[in-house]
Amino acid sequence: MAIPIRKPAEIDKLRKANIIVAKTLKYLSGQCKPGVSLLELDRMGEEYIRSLGARPSFKGLYGFPASVCTSVNEVIIHGVPTEYKLQEGDIIGLDIGTELDGWYGDAAVTVGVGTISKADEALIQIAKDTLYFAIEIIRPGLRFKELSYEIEKFIKARGYQPLHGFCGHGIGRKPHEEPEIPNYLEHGSPKSGPKIKEGMVFCLEPMICQKLGTPKILEDKWSVVSEDGLRGSHYEHTVAVIGGKAEILSKED
């Protein structure tokens, strides 16, 4: 399947959906305090997204039961909101999708609850640093496999492992489109496969494990942890290739 090339007017529509994601993530990050339940965060997130005129696109997507992925501590991605109340020292990944006028937005952050350990600060920082490193090196002509390879090297050089089995992705008229963008080299040479082109729009989302990148899905059939049983982290932006470089769409004006 061909990777769509978006016109400037289409990118503007994607930017509007993603600005709502960015605003919601900022709002919810400020609500991640001891005593607040994951279900409360989900409710606040859905209400906030709808107040800005968009729809929470994760709700019902592939059967997901909530509007916000709330991934606490060992859960790296796809955490389902429950009655669990955040505690001092927790870390939580917030992953949010929106749909506005038929166009989709998607981004994620990991934040600490109260005072967190130095190890958890470093764990969160590597996800964020990897994301911005990837955004910085994107240019037309770079192959997606090269991008994945560089992301993997960056993560491993810092002493961590990328989560396997899950990946970044294209986005546009659907929440998930071509291409798939793993955070590691998969299948063959970095010099193979499609190239990044001007006008492409996609999500980059480093998912960080401490020792093992092997995923394990919990009994809720959604929450993904590492087989090492240790805490993980996750950051994500939607970017568009404009003027020969990646521009972040999922940020506030």
For residue 1, pLDDT beyond 70: no
pLDDT 10s digits, 48-94: 999 999 999 999 999 999 999 999 999 999 999 999 999 999 999 99
For residue 174, pLDDT beyond 70: yes
Domains of the chain: which residue ranges?
8-248
0.75 exceeded by pTM:
yes
- Distance, CA of 150 to CA of 85 (rounded, Å): 37
CATH superfamily of 8-248: Creatinase/methionine aminopeptidase superfamily (3.90.230.10)
Bridge partner residues of 112 (DSSP)? 91
Is residue 69 within 8 Å of 58, Cβ to Cβ? Answer: yes
Sign of CA dihedral 32, 33, 38, 39: negative
Per-residue pLDDT at 188: 85
3-state secondary structure of 135: helix
Other beta carbons within 10 angstroms of residue 50's beta carbon come to 14
Mean pLDDT of the chain: 97
